[in-house]
Amino acid sequence: MGGLLDGMRVLDVSMWRPMPHATQILADLGADVLKIEQPGGDPMRGYPEIFASLARGKRSIELNLKDPEQHARALELVAECDVLCESWRPGVADRLGLGAAALRAARPELIYCSISGYGQDGPWRDAPGHDLNYQALAGAIAPRPGRDEEPAIPKLPAADLEAGTLAALLVCAAWARRLVTGEGERIDVAMADVMAWWVGPRSVPTVGTDGARPGGSPGYGVFRTSDDRFVTLAPLTEPHLWRAICDALQLDDLAELPFTVRIDRLDEIDRRVRTAIATLPFTVAVDRLREAGAPVAPVLSPEEAATHPQFLAREVLVTVDDLAVPATPALLAVHPRRGAGPVPSIGEHPDGFAPRAGPG
């Protein structure tokens, strides 16, 4: 059974992480993805495990785009592809003779997708940066109002990864449109924009109709267990979830308090929950709260998460070249994700794309 994107040819001239993440999603869904690698290969090859998660099942051709003959070969591949993906700084593609305007003028059906830090226009378009900069500009690492804390480096490269995910979604949408009308598309994704989209324009949420205040939800947080591990609880306004927490922690006098009362007693209730969990070992706390139906999850390391029964059941990881790497996180019943293909060696596919199976 073929993948959902069987027949799509993607020419990926990007390196590092954001756009390769996007094209890995497309590859997992069945697209034929050909990486053009610079002489010596994608610098991300210096991080073998990350590279394996970004290049499995793709094809590789090594080209020096500044060499006239090799540039001409790149243009031949452009003529054969359906989608071109790049992540250079704005203006670089034009200087290399691979800009969107020129290529789409010659082939209006081409889907041309760019990821950059600040987008193809705007006063910051030429500024250099990486994930941390884009999160900072969008307000993602700003201290919470009224809290005595400093901004910290985020633990996840959210700008990189979500920009790639959004780019893959938009490529799929453009592909669906093209199949109906024959039209191509010019897609411009900015990592800073994506973070601003996530964060929104306010530091704290407004007061809702349920009476919630910006201070948080009682019992919502990270709590230390007696053996110095951590569990998370995430109740909001739901009475049944709050009752489950109280049942598990033997906080019977708090179980029937309305949410508005709990909000008024937030500090006291958080202290009671914290004290109760601090008396329990990690596994006991998790098991007891889960059995009661509370919204609980343990704080795991990535290594622990990799062997957790939930993620094993969902086939979140695949094995590539003896490395466990993430797969696109969705299960498809009719057109399953492509199996874990090998990581290509640099320039392994000088002939370019695989032959098309049929019209397309």
The domains of the chain are located at: 9-200+309-326, 221-300
Same fold, 9-200+309-326 and 221-300: no
The residue-averaged pLDDT of 67-93 equals 94
Question: Which pLDDT value is given to residue 118?
Answer: 83
The residue-averaged pLDDT of 84-110 equals 93
Question: Which pLDDT value is given to residue 358?
Answer: 57
User: Would the pLDDT of 322 be above 80?
Assistant: no
| pTM exceeding the 0.95 threshold for the entire prediction | no
Q: Which residue has the tokens 């250079």?
A: 88
Lowest mean pLDDT among 12-16, 32-36, 203-207: 203-207
pLDDT band at residue 177 using 50, 70 and 90 as cut-offs: very high
Name which residue leads in pLDDT, 195 or 314.
195
Question: Which pLDDT value is given to residue 204?
Answer: 62
The residue-averaged pLDDT of 151-172 equals 89
Question: Which pLDDT value is given to residue 151?
Answer: 80
Question: Which pLDDT value is given to residue 92?
Answer: 93
Residues 6+ apart with CB under 8 A from 57: 27, 28, 33, 338, 339, 340, 341, 342
The residue-averaged pLDDT of 130-148 equals 78
pLDDT band at residue 332 using 50, 70 and 90 as cut-offs: low
Average pLDDT, the chain: 86
Question: Which pLDDT value is given to residue 199?
Answer: 77
Tell me the per-residue pLDDT of 244-264, one tens digit each, with 9 for 90 and over: 999 999 999 999 999 989 989
Question: Which pLDDT value is given to residue 25?
Answer: 94
Q: How far are the Cα atoms of 154, 228, 282 from residue 232, in angstroms, in the given order?
A: 19, 13, 11
Name which residue leads in pLDDT, 115 or 302.
115
Question: Which pLDDT value is given to residue 213?
Answer: 47
The residue-averaged pLDDT of 267-293 equals 94
User: Would the pLDDT of 292 be above 70?
Assistant: yes
Superfamily of structural domain 9-200+309-326: Crotonobetainyl-coa:carnitine coa-transferase; domain 1 (3.40.50.10540)
Question: Which pLDDT value is given to residue 201?
Answer: 66
Of 1.10.3480.10, 3.40.50.300, 3.90.480.10, 3.30.1540.10, which CATH number belongs to 221-300?
Answer: 3.30.1540.10
Q: How far apart are CA 168 and CA 176, in angstroms?
A: 12
pLDDT band at residue 31 using 50, 70 and 90 as cut-offs: very high
Tell me the per-residue pLDDT of 207-231, one tens digit each, with 9 for 90 and over: 444 444 445 789 988 899 999 999 9
User: Would the pLDDT of 150 be above 80?
Assistant: no
User: Would the pLDDT of 241 be above 70?
Assistant: yes
